[in-house]
Amino acid sequence: MSILSRRSALVLPLGLRLRRAAAQPAWRPAAQCRLIVPSTAGGTSDLVTRMVARHAQAAWNLPVVADNKPGSGGVIATMDLLRSAPDGHTLLCGSAGSQAIAYSLYTDVPYRAEQLMPVSGVIRTPNILLVHPSLGVDTVADLVRVMRAQRGQITHGTPGNGSSAHLSLVWFQQLTGTEGVHVPYRGTAPAVFDLIAGNIQAAWVNLPSATPHLAAGRVKALAVTSADRASNIPDVPAMREGVPELEAYDVTMWFGMFLQANAPAAAAQAWNATIATLLEMPETQRRFEELGGMTHPGTPEQFAAHVNAEIERWGAIIRREGLRMEAT
């Protein structure tokens, strides 16, 4: 067989498959859609899910609602998705916490990665470390000194056990040899409000949800968890600046949409295409940049590869640190 004929033999089946796919009607929802949010109102997952909901509702001219199901580090929301009909009308806003960290961190996580179908990433953003002014620290190095001097006394709030913000705290403590008191909340908003009230001394939360409080001067930002500074708050240093023990420290949070694994593949493609148009909009990109994040586009296959890589990365960190806890 010649080179040309061998190529033709390879191309022909692909062309047939493409024509067959093009001949099939595009999937679109037939009724109201529900997007499950694993946090209370006001958090990053709530913000981006409502953006997706508004855009999809306009695109399909059908109701698309955001449904908040906070608690247990995203377990409650994930199980809500898995109990719903696998018809493409219900999606979950998943995160690094519930769709990557949880599998290694929890002893009793009631779902498996293969039960979910990654659809599309939406946003990537660093977490941020906030402190109450009464703590009297101005830099991460200051905080390390205070935590070493007051071992096991400084209180740190996070959006919940198993969240990437919680693991940001844990990795920080392991690398610096410090120990604080972890105070888990049911979402970002209550953690920030308790910090403002002075009920906790520090809070580790996702940057977008903290941005309004930073702009209003209600909280003090100490550092972002990414390797580099965030574009919307360039005066706030990266965590690893000025602290040699944190040279390798780099944590970014991501949020993306998931279907049940046995939902129609065509539904995943349709949702991915709809989300892609949202992420391509200049106003979306500007909004994400204002929040300190960036769009996280890609095909379902690319997002699935990213999720799998995150599962491996966090699993290695958690096993190395010997961290295990119960989800419920």
Confidence at residue 99, expressed as pLDDT on a 0 to 100 scale = 95
pTM (predicted TM-score): 0.75
Q: Residue 62's CB: how many other CB atoms inside 10 A?
A: 15
Confidence at residue 12, expressed as pLDDT on a 0 to 100 scale = 36
Tokens standing for residue 238: 């990266």
Is the alpha carbon torsion for 199, 202, 205, 210 positive or negative?
positive
Identify the CA nearest to 307 among candidates 38, 119, 174, 163: 119
3-state SS, the chain, equals CCHHHHHHHHHHHHHHHHHHHHHCCCCCCCCCEEEEECCCCCCHHHHHHHHHHHHHHHHHCCCEEEEECCCHHHHHHHHHHHHCCCCCCEEEEEEHHHHHHHHHHECCCCCCHHHEEEEEEEEEEEEEEEECHHHCCCCHHHHHHHHHHCCCCCEEEECCCCCHHHHHHHHHHHHHCCCCEEEECCCHHHHHHHHHHCCCCEEEEEHHHHHHHHHCCCCEEEEECCCCCCCCCCCCCECCCCCHHHCCCCCEEEEEEEEECCCCHHHHHHHHHHHHHHHHCHHHHHHHHHCCCEECCCCHHHHHHHHHHHHHHHHHHHHHHCCCECCC
pLDDT tens over the chain, length 328 residues: 333 333 333 343 444 333 334 434 489 999 999 999 998 888 788 999 999 999 999 999 999 999 999 988 788 999 999 999 999 999 999 999 899 998 998 888 999 999 999 999 999 989 999 999 999 999 999 999 999 999 999 999 998 877 789 889 999 999 999 999 999 998 888 999 999 999 999 999 988 878 888 888 888 999 999 988 998 899 999 999 989 999 989 898 899 999 999 999 999 999 999 999 999 999 999 989 887 888 999 999 999 999 999 999 889 888 877 888 886 6
Length of the chain equals 328
Confidence at residue 163, expressed as pLDDT on a 0 to 100 scale = 79
Domain 126-246 of CATH type 3.30.70.20: no
Tokens standing for residue 67: 């449904």
Residues with Cβ within 8 Å of residue 18, at least 6 apart in sequence: none
* Domain 33-124+253-321 and domain 126-246 have a common topology: yes
Tokens standing for residue 295: 């769009």
Residue ranges per structural domain of the chain: 33-124+253-321, 126-246
132-157 pLDDT tens trace:
999 999 999 999 999 999 999 999 99
* CATH superfamily of domain region 33-124+253-321: Bordetella uptake gene, domain 1 (3.40.190.150)
Confidence at residue 327, expressed as pLDDT on a 0 to 100 scale = 67
Confidence at residue 328, expressed as pLDDT on a 0 to 100 scale = 62
